[in-house]
């Protein structure tokens, strides 16, 4: 190929950050803050034949930060937040709970119509901590560099390394190594946050003050219905009971009373019955099936047909079948319709359908009109492009970061952990989170470093206004404690 016809190499990527100034009015007074939005270029060290060849760009990661004007970085905390998926951007925590602006969309049973809107978040965590929102590669506006392979970032280990580098780079460039530092993750983001706690300590010597694990899953075996794994069935039962209660199938009973019954059954007789299999005496089978049907709101005949094993997607489809409705997985308070009344599983999640439109509209408006960042790329709120997600590091064993979190806590006994659970969360049930935490291999002296809070909502519990207010207060207390 002649020199004249050789294709030109694309220009090397550069950071494209935009900074704006804002004021948030709260009951406690005005907060003057600076927002910075844009993509930062990540580079990795390149070696050829044992020789160092410099730093080669490999990803452009979209980050939005909010910092309080005039604050002392030596005492001012910073919270780095991300959601999960894998494949989710950080829009949910950004515009639902933490950020200075929040989505207005209504709630289950009282949703507002398009085009929705944004309002000041008077309970924003910005009152107590600077905020950094990170979109993993292939979500939001984050992408591999031109010519790069997106799949290189679509896996457990590469994701931890990439987000860890974003954290290190932001902390270093903004001179925040001496600031109190927190990570906040939701759903798969909790698994990521726990792994990052150890990764940042071991790779960069960065010790954190706390982790906020919202809708926590640290051990995938606790929530995955796979052949031979009976563990999730009892752990989902209290959530099934909560959802049934919300839809009027436990008339005259308080939610806490229903949950106590389900928790007791799930901790003893139910798992014992599952373990017995065909050895379970007929009278015991009758009793267990009746109680399961009562707790879940399902027909006893159905419970028997599935051999006492109620898989979660089946539950969401079956619970309100006679009324022609299906319930949400992310939040069982939401309901929707199906085109086939005899289907075994839902064709969509009505809770995801309810929140995706409002959050997508709000983010696209907020980034351009308020933060001044313009891009013609589609903002990937929930991207399937990251699939299949690689767990090659766990080949032959379950996906779990329990050991990494416990190692991080043992090495850093000051690390505190806040866990937030929604009673109606059918994706990461609260009983599973409780069991995993109870089995965390840490000394008893460190168990008081863990706190768990509960809300009468789902996976994104902050779409429920009473839960949002309570959760905002709980997180503010967590960040400000022992400062």
Q: Please check whether residue 13 lies inside any domain of the structure.
A: no
Burial 58-83 (b: 16+ CB within 10 A, else e): bbbbbbbbbbbeeeeeeebbbbbbbb
Same domain? For 347 and 362 the reply is no
What is the number of structural domains in the chain?
2
Check residue 259 and give its pLDDT. 98
Question: Which residues make beta-bridge pairs with 48?
Answer: 51
Q: What percent of the chain has pLDDT over 90?
A: 92
Query: What range defines the domain where residue 347 resides?
Result: 226-351
Q: List pLDDT tens digits, range 225-258.
A: 999 999 999 999 999 999 999 999 999 999 999 9
**Single residue among 316, 351, 386 that ends a domain in this structure:** 351
Residue 175 in any domain: the answer is: yes
> Which pLDDT tens digits describe the chain residue by residue (483 residues)?
455 566 677 788 999 999 999 999 998 899 999 999 999 999 987 766 677 666 789 999 999 999 999 999 999 999 999 999 999 999 999 999 999 999 999 999 999 999 999 999 999 999 999 999 999 999 999 999 999 999 999 999 999 999 999 999 999 999 999 999 999 999 999 999 999 999 999 999 999 999 999 999 999 999 999 999 999 999 999 999 999 999 999 999 999 999 999 999 999 999 999 999 999 999 999 999 999 999 999 999 999 999 999 999 999 999 999 999 999 999 999 999 999 889 999 999 999 999 999 999 999 999 999 999 999 999 999 999 999 999 999 998 999 999 999 999 999 999 999 999 999 999 999 999 999 999 999 999 999 999 999 999 999 999 999 999 999 999 999 999 865
78 and 146 fall within a common domain: yes
Last residue of a domain, one of 351, 374, 409: 351
Is 190 part of any domain? Answer: yes
Chosen domain end from 290, 323, 351: 351
Residues 285, 423, single domain; the answer is: no
* Residue 10 domain flag: no
Per DSSP, 346 falls in state -
User: What does the block give as tokens for 183?
Assistant: 């990570």
Among 276, 286, 245, smallest CA distance to 262 is for 245
Cα–Cα dist 179/209, whole Å: 9
Q: 0.85 exceeded by the pTM? A: yes
Query: According to DSSP H, which parts of 82-207 are helical?
Result: 91-93, 156-173, 188-204
Q: What digits encode the pLDDT tens for the residues 77-114?
A: 999 999 999 999 999 999 999 999 999 999 999 999 99
């Amino acid at each position: 190929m002649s020199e004249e016809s050789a294709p030109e190499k694309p220009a090397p990527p550069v950071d494209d950050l935009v900074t704006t100034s804002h004021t948030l009015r709260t009951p406690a007074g005005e907060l003057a803050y600076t927002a910075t939005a844009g993509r930062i270029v990540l580079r990795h060290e390149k070696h050829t034949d044992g020789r160092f060849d410099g730093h080669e760009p490999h990803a452009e990661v979209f980050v939005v930060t909010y910092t309080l004007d005039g604050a002392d970085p030596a005492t001012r905390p910073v919270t780095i937040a991300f959601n999960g998926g894998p494949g989710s951007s950080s829009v949910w925590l950004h515009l639902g709970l933490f950020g200075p602006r929040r989505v207005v969309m209504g709630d289950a049973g009282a949703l507002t119509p398009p085009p929705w809107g944004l309002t000041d978040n008077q309970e924003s965590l910005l009152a107590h901590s600077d905020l950094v929102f990170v979109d993993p590669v292939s979500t939001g506006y984050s992408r591999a560099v031109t010519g790069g392979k997106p799949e290189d970032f679509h896996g457990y280990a590469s994701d931890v390394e990439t987000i860890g580098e974003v954290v290190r780079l932001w902390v270093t460039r903004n001179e925040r190594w001496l600031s109190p530092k927190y990570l906040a993750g939701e759903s798969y983001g909790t698994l990521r946050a726990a792994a990052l706690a150890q990764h940042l300590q071991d790779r960069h010597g960065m010790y954190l003050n706390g982790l906020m694990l919202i809708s926590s899953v640290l051990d995938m075996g606790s929530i995955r219905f796979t052949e031979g794994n009976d563990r999730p069935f009892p752990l989902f039962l209290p959530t099934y009971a909560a959802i049934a209660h919300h839809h009027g199938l436990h008339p005259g009973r308080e939610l806490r009373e229903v949950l106590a019954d389900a928790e007791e059954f799930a901790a003893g007789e139910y798992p014992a019955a599952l373990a017995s299999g065909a050895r379970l005496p007929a009278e015991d089978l009758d009793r267990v099936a009746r109680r399961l049907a009562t707790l879940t709101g399902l027909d006893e005949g159905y419970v028997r047909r599935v051999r006492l094993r109620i898989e979660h997607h089946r539950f969401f489809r079956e619970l309100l079948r006679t009324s022609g409705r299906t319930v949400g997985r992310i939040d069982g308070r939401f309901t929707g319709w199906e085109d086939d009344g005899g289907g075994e599983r839902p064709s969509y999640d009505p809770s995801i359908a309810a929140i995706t439109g409002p959050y997508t509209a709000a983010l696209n408006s907020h980034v351009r009109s308020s933060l001044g960042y313009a891009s013609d790329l589609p903002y990937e709120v929930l991207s399937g492009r990251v699939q299949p997600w690689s767990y090659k590091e766990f080949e032959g064993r379950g996906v779990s970061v329990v050991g990494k979190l416990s190692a991080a806590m043992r090495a850093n006994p000051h690390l505190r952990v806040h866990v937030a659970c929604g009673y109606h969360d059918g994706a990461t049930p609260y009983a599973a989170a409780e069991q995993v935490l109870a089995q965390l291999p840490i000394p008893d002296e460190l168990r008081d470093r863990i706190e768990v809070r509960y809300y009468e909502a789902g996976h994104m519990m902050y779409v429920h206004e009473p839960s949002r207010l309570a959760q905002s207060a709980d997180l503010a207390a967590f960040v400000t404690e022992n400062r």
